[in-house]
A and B are shown apart, each in its own frame.
Chain A
Amino acid sequence: MIYNRIAFVVVLVMLGLISVAIYVFNPLDNFDNNLPPEESLIIERVTSSPDGFIAYVRGNHRQPIKISQIQVDGAFWDFQQIPDGPINQLATAKLLIPYPWIQNETHHLLFLSSTGATYNYTIDVAYMTPSPNNKTLFSLALIGICVGLIPITLGMLSLPLLRYLGDNSIVFFMSLTIGLLGFLFLDTLEEGLELTKTSANAFQGNLSVLLASVLTFLGILTISWRSKPSTNGIVLATWLAIGIGLHNFGEGLSIGTALSLGNAALGSMLLIGFAMHNLTEGVAIIAPILKRKITFAMLLGWLCLAGLPAIAGTWIGAFTFAPHWNALFFGVAAGAIAQVIIEVGRSIWVMRSTLGDKFIVSNAFAGFGMGILVMYATAFLIQV
């Protein structure tokens, strides 16, 4: 036992010695003679107000960065930095730029550091960044409802119709749910990875998204596998509602951010498109309980779990912006959705053993394929 402890100390001592040796001899010394200081800046968000632009920036390198001048549309412009001075790695600063910007037009910002390096940011379409008053919150909530509550309610309304389906048709719908979740999983993950492009390097964007996704997946799996494979459709429907809710929260975040940053072209056609796209989410939630007695309260509960997060998402997306946190959230959501896929898969497996010879495999595959196709097709319709 005592030897084990000594071995541990030896490792620590050697680690220390190696650190000292590297510091003293600096094998990298030959490679960075007279290099200009490295530095990097992330421009996280620029809002437009009656007093001009407000830029929120973050230091992106060990070497602090000093913003010496700012150009707007190719003209040096007055600005004030809060707090003043060089910006350390991961530290943030706010830059007030009293520029007479023009409604509906594009503006280019260029930040010139003390070394003469430049960092660009483009405001695609400038318009007043909404302030978080009641009217704005209400409008955002309406958008959230269009994307979440309404389509899910409509999807759930198919319950009376679907109740008359046979066992193998239920298998079809359950598989359809897996297809749909698969689409949502990829979409969410991609969204998270996309966001990491605008977040500071030290957060190791891509890795943190994937890590969050895997850890969430394993975490929820550990909890859910304590119970037996879920023959209980109510539990499964709840898992589905949570997974879909997380995805809709992410969708809300994206919409809110895009609206407040002036890179959104959200017309009513788009909103209708989103609603159609999310209609299948309602069908997915009720797929496990088609043969079960449920109460109205349960339906309402699932509806809220799946639909309300979209509203919260639009609010948070519109008034806060931290790409690394948002990216991390998308990772968590993707992990949760992956876990729900496993849950639905397990219950299809249970149905297979109950049905025995009567189980029609092609129904399962057809449902899965149909799920993905429906999602792809509605997404396609939104884009064109």
Chain B
Amino acid sequence: MISKLFRNVTNRRSFLGAGALLPLTPFLSSTNTSANNSPEPNSIYKSPHAHAGGMTTVGNVNHLRNGFDPHSLLTDWEVGTVSQDSAGKIIRKFEIIAVDIEIEIAPGVFFAAWTYNGRVPGPTIRATEGELLQIKFINKGSHPHSMHFHGIHSAKMDGIAGAGLVDPGEEFVYEFTAEPFGCHLYHCHAEPLKRHIHKGLYGAFIIDPDPKLHSQNTTIALSRQLGTDENKKWQELVMVMNAFDTNFDDKNEIYAVNTIAHEYSKRPIKIDKQRPVRIYLINVTEFDPINSFHIHGNFFDYFDHGTTLTPTLNKVDTVMQCQAQRGILEMSFSNHDSGHYMFHAHQSEFAELGWMSMFEVV
């Protein structure tokens, strides 16, 4: 009977009510009286961690076993193999293979992932607008999968049932012209959709503007086109905001950019303050309606979907995206002190569950 009485006391109000009658003053005095009489703040917690910051995942992920390192994912462009047809049009061919692998998404926490090319997010496919893309997709996974590109293409190339949904052991070639220029994504469109996406089948799909087509903004377009001298001045980074539901309750336990919780706060991303920073930011987070990006001590210009050469948002330090929304962030640290500049989701919840990162500006 007694323990039942206690177990029923779960709401705080009844505790405070009973507190008025507490006969146990000596029992609790070590905590209560000192708080009431001293001018010190009411804190019992004495650990130095209160100031050092204990919010972290514990340990390190074995990137070697995973087969990919979040730091190399940032700048790892998949440009395919290039050829030209008789009319001189550039053809870019890619090969993507779906495989099931287990990945370590936080130190010691393993997730049975479905991947493109054995990595989450999948390879960052990069092309220039107007090129013909041929993406050969081979499904070596255990379920039917597809590649559904956010871009302009024929219904036949959409990556849904009847249009490039690929059974295990089969393959399919998606073919379309790269357009419009911008920061896009691709993901599996097999059903059930939620499970196929959140198990890891997504990746960045970047189409650079063709400077020849943008005479008004040639320099800007050149700076966006991979490999040009103008582009080499920039530090370009791909960040895919994702999350993982490890216990299948349709709520995420772990959040990150590029899969590994807290990775960029434990090993900050080095930034050369002399060169401007461009981030291709994509949100694929499942289960939560939105995700966001917030930078400390700086502001950025934002190009929603990356489909314009002039910013759609000027001078902001926070931007939010729904699932599949994406955009380009441009910022400079040229006048900043060297040091660590945090960036993270400004849903504190996501930040504390892994989506917390750091630039080390030098």
Contact = CB atoms under 8 A, between A and B. Distances in A.
B3 A100 contact: no
Nearest to B248: A116
B299 to A, nearest CB: 27
Contact of A124 (B1, B10, B42, B262): B10
Interface in B1-21: 1-7, 9-10, 12, 14-21
B15 A265 contact: yes
B74 interface: no
Contact of A112 (B19, B45, B109): B109
For B23, B30, B31, the residue with the greatest tally of chain A CB atoms inside 10 Å of its CB is B23
Interface of B: 1-7, 9-10, 12, 14-24, 26-31, 35, 42-47, 49-50, 54-59, 106-112, 244, 246-247, 253, 261-262, 349, 352-354
B30 A128 contact: yes
Given A116-B253, A187-B1, A267-B18, A50 B108 contact: no
B111 A383 contact: no
Nearest to B3: A254
30 contacts: A50-B45, A51-B46, A66-B108, A68-B59, A68-B107, A69-B109, A70-B58, A76-B57, A77-B54, A77-B56, A100-B47, A100-B49, A100-B54, A106-B12, A110-B253, A114-B108, A116-B111, A116-B247, A118-B253, A125-B9, A128-B31, A128-B44, A135-B29, A254-B6, A255-B2, A259-B27, A267-B20, A269-B21, A270-B5, A270-B18
Interface stretch (A136-144, A156-164, A286-294, A301-309): A136-144
A365 interface: no
Contacts of A270: 5, 18
Contacts of B12: 104-106, 125
A268 B22 CA distance: 6
B200 to A, nearest CB: 13
A38 interface: no
Contacts of B9: 124-125, 263-265
Given A139-B27, A267-B23, 12 more contacts: A71-B253, A74-B349, A74-B352, A76-B55, A130-B27, A143-B24, A187-B1, A258-B3, A263-B7, A266-B6, A266-B23, A267-B21
B246 to A, nearest CB: 3
Interface of A: 36, 48, 50-52, 66, 68-71, 74-79, 98-101, 103-106, 110, 112-118, 124-125, 127-128, 130, 135-136, 138-140, 143, 187, 190-191, 194-195, 251, 254-255, 257-259, 263-271, 274, 379, 382-383
B253 A98 contact: no
Contacts of A130: 27, 30
Contacts of A52: 45, 47, 49, 54
A208 B253 CA distance: 36
B28 A127 contact: yes
Contacts of B56: 76-78
Contacts of A271: 23
A194 B7 CA distance: 11
Contact of B55 (A50, A77, A267): A77
Contacts of A255: 2
Contacts of A79: 58
A264 to B, nearest CB: 5
Nearest to B31: A128
For A69, A79, A263, the residue with the greatest tally of chain B CB atoms inside 10 Å of its CB is A69
Given A100-B43, A114-B108, A268 B21 contact: yes
B35 A103 contact: yes
A76 B261 contact: yes
Nearest to B255: A76
A101 B55 CA distance: 13
B109 to A, nearest CB: 5
Contacts of B108: 66, 68-69, 114
A75 B352 contact: yes
B164 to A, nearest CB: 29
Given A50-B46, A52-B45, A103 B31 contact: yes
Contact of B47 (A50, A136, A274): A50
A25 B247 CA distance: 33
Contact of B27 (A51, A116, A136): A136
A267 B22 contact: yes
Given A50-B45, A51-B47, A100-B45, A74 B26 contact: no
Nearest to B352: A75
A113 B106 CA distance: 11
Given A77-B56, A254-B3, A259-B27, A114 B43 contact: no
A139 B109 contact: no
Nearest to A126: B44
Nearest to B350: A74
Contacts of A138: 26
A116 B109 contact: yes
A194 B27 contact: no
B320 to A, nearest CB: 19
B54 A78 contact: yes
Given A68-B106, A254-B6, A266 B24 contact: yes
Contacts of B349: 74-75
A135 B54 CA distance: 33
B152 to A, nearest CB: 38
Given A75-B353, A77-B55, A128-B30, A104 B44 contact: no
Given A50-B47, A116-B253, A383 B5 contact: yes
Contacts of A103: 31, 35, 42, 44
Contacts of A76: 55-58, 106, 261-262, 352-354
B47 A125 contact: no
3 tightest CB-CB pairs across the interface, nearest first? A116-B246, A68-B108, A75-B352
Nearest to B57: A76
A127 B42 CA distance: 12
Contacts of A78: 49, 54-56, 58
For A70, A99, A190, the residue with the greatest tally of chain B CB atoms inside 10 Å of its CB is A99
Contacts of A101: 44-45
Given A104-B16, A135-B26, A71 B353 contact: yes
Contacts of B353: 71, 74-76
Contacts of B246: 112, 115-118
Contact of B58 (A69, A140, A258): A69
Nearest to B54: A78
For B3, B19, B26, B112, the residue with the greatest tally of chain A CB atoms inside 10 Å of its CB is B3
Given A78-B54, A98-B47, A265-B14, A191 B22 contact: no
